[in-house]
Copies of this chain bind each other. A is one copy, B any other.
Amino acid sequence: MIDYRRLRVALLGAGAVGSQVAALLLKHGDELADRAGAALELVGIAVRDLDAPRETDLPRELFTTDAESLIVGADIVIELMGGIEPAKTYLLQAINSGADIVTANKALLATHGPEIFDAADQVGAQVYYEAAAAGAIPIIRPLRDSLAGDRVQRIMGIVNGTTNYILDRMDTEGADFADVLAQAQALGYAESDPTADVEGYDAAQKAAILASLAFHTTIPLDAVHREGITSIDKAMIDSARHAGHVIKLLAVCERLAADADADSESISVRVYPALIHRDHPLASVHGANNAVFVEAEAAGNLMFYGAGAGGVQTASAVLGDVVSAARRHIAGGVGVGESTRANLPIVPIGRVTTRYQITLEVDDQPGVLATVAGILSDGRVSIATVEQTVIDHPDLGVPVARLVIGTHKAREQDLSDTVDRLAASGVVERVVSVLRVEGD
């Protein structure tokens, strides 16, 4: 047994991830010491309530409610409490007392990342956060380090397991959103308040983190366009399947070339349900899994796939960071700061261009298609495909046709204005759905 230098590790939080991290640190201590070149001594676990019920047999004497005392003198502080406060205060204390920090707190990084990174830079500490995006999937290091010499053009990520589980079951079983959500809640895949997942807030936080890394730019969370999946119904899923597509909640981070509106490159970061072709690698990401598809100038197309959540899976990413932090402590030198010097402007959603699929119910009479096509053309939306089917509409009692229009790339603002004009045109009974098509 090598007599390694001891590093003091403080853990804040003992939830699903925290208790797994503690258990693995204790169970695999010798192995981790060999890999890190340092003994990792878990000096304590800070919790809010010592008496809260826990599904763990961690030694009672490790638990404390005094996080601040735990932080003092720690070499590595692992923050797995979640939320903004007191997590932020503790992390800043840890940084200022000389510790490296490991966190899985995507909400905190997406909202106060720059403040935390700046504080770390001031003292030469390092911030590790592999677990903050896409759970167990190693994506932070690939973006931060492996692709640091390349130019990322686009990231398309399935970064929320709950919504992927719901959409996947709707697709494979023809089930309704509400039914699948209820089952997901019963199985523990969805929270009792599912808002953060189904409205895309969780995915938006991860998108901000991934885009910051990919484009070397600070991305404020409110610059991320966000739409959830609550409007996705069985009919849209069926229609997507019919057209060889599948609907996924995608986090899209995209580099836009200079154009008439912008004399330099810019970026777009957005989260919404979108159609992708069934041949696209992201289409075969099933269940609660996550995947991040990266298009880079030199590297070409890459994909990273795995479990996006789960206590023990996320603990793997946290412990990888702990070993990295320990190796850095032993090696010496200051932390490598975040790379945000590109600082590309972020464009509003209205300036983004994608392809669309517009589904309309129109009066089934001569000339209607010409009218619709004219409105699209006037609105600078170019039609790629049209499929017309006559349907019976029980509420109206008159023959109605369904038009499914696939567009070429159009500007979001133009498209949105055009859809408004279609709705007001008199020939359109109902705008059934408007969905973006990604991944060409």
Q: A residues touching B (Cβ–Cβ < 8 Å)?
A: 2, 20, 24, 28, 31-32, 34-37, 130, 136-138, 140-142, 145-151, 216, 281, 284, 296-307, 310, 312-313, 315-324, 327-328, 330-337, 339, 341-342
Q: Nearest chain-B residue to A141 (Cβ)?
A: B141
Q: State whether A138 touches B149 (Cβ < 8 A).
A: no
Tell whether A341 pairs with B304 under 8 Å between CB atoms, given A316-B150, A317-B146, A333-B333: no
Q: Could you write out 24 A-B pairs with CB less than 8 Å apart?
A: A28-B149, A35-B341, A130-B146, A138-B138, A138-B141, A140-B146, A141-B141, A141-B145, A145-B324, A147-B316, A147-B320, A148-B320, A149-B319, A150-B316, A281-B305, A298-B312, A298-B315, A299-B317, A302-B305, A302-B306, A302-B307, A303-B305, A330-B336, A333-B334
A28–B151 Cα gap in the complex (Å)?
Answer: 9
Residues of B within 8 A of A334 (CB): 331-333
Q: Pick from B307, B318, B332: contact of A149, CB below 8 A.
A: B318
Closest B residue by C-beta to A335: B331
The answer on a CB contact under 8 Å between B328 and A333 is yes
Q: Give the chain B neighbours of A337 by CB distance below 8 A.
A: 37
Whether B146 lies near A216 (C-beta < 8 A) is no
Tell me how far the C-beta of A150 lies from the nearest C-beta in chain B, rounded to whole angstroms.
4
Q: Contact: B36 with A148, CB < 8 Å?
A: yes
Residues of B within 8 A of A216 (CB): 34-35
List B contacts of A34 (CB < 8 A). 216, 339, 341-342
Check A323 against B145 for contact (C-beta < 8 Å).
yes
> Whole-angstrom distance between the alpha carbons of A296 and B319 in the complex?
13
Residue numbers in B under 8 Å from A310 (CB-CB): 300
Give the complex CA separation of A75 and B341 in angstroms. Answer: 23
Contacts of A301 in B (CB 8 A): 306-307
CA distance A339 to B313 in the complex (A): 22
Bound-complex Cα distance A98 to B312 (A)? 41
* Closest residue of B by beta carbon distance from A322: B149
Q: Do residues B281 and A296 form an inter-chain contact, with CB atoms below 8 A?
A: no
CB within 8 A of A303: which of B2, B303, B312?
B303
Question: Which residue of the partner chain B has the closest CB to A279?
Answer: B284
Cβ-defined contact, B141 with A146, below 8 A: yes
Alpha-carbon gap, A331 to B329, bound state (A): 12
Query: Quick check: B333 and A302 within 8 Å, CB to CB?
Result: no
Q: CA A302 – CA B36 in complex, angstroms?
A: 23
Q: What residues of chain B lie closer than 8 Å to A318, measured between beta carbons?
A: 149
Contact B342 A31 (CB under 8 A): yes
CB distance from A302 to the nearest CB of B (A): 4
CA distance A35 to B2 in the complex (A): 38
* Contact residues in B for A336 (Cβ distance below 8 Å): 37, 327-328, 330-331
- List the B side residues contacting A335 at CB < 8 Å: 331
Contact A24 B149 (CB under 8 A): yes
Closest B residue to A310 by beta carbon equals B300
A136 & B316 in contact (Cβ 8 Å cutoff): no
Out of B36, B141, B306, B321, name the residue touching A299 (CB < 8 Å).
Answer: B306
A343 to B384, CA, bound (A): 60
Contact residues in B for A20 (Cβ distance below 8 Å): 298
Top 8 closest pairs, chain A to chain B, by CB: A149-B319, A333-B333, A138-B146, A299-B316, A332-B333, A138-B142, A298-B316, A148-B323
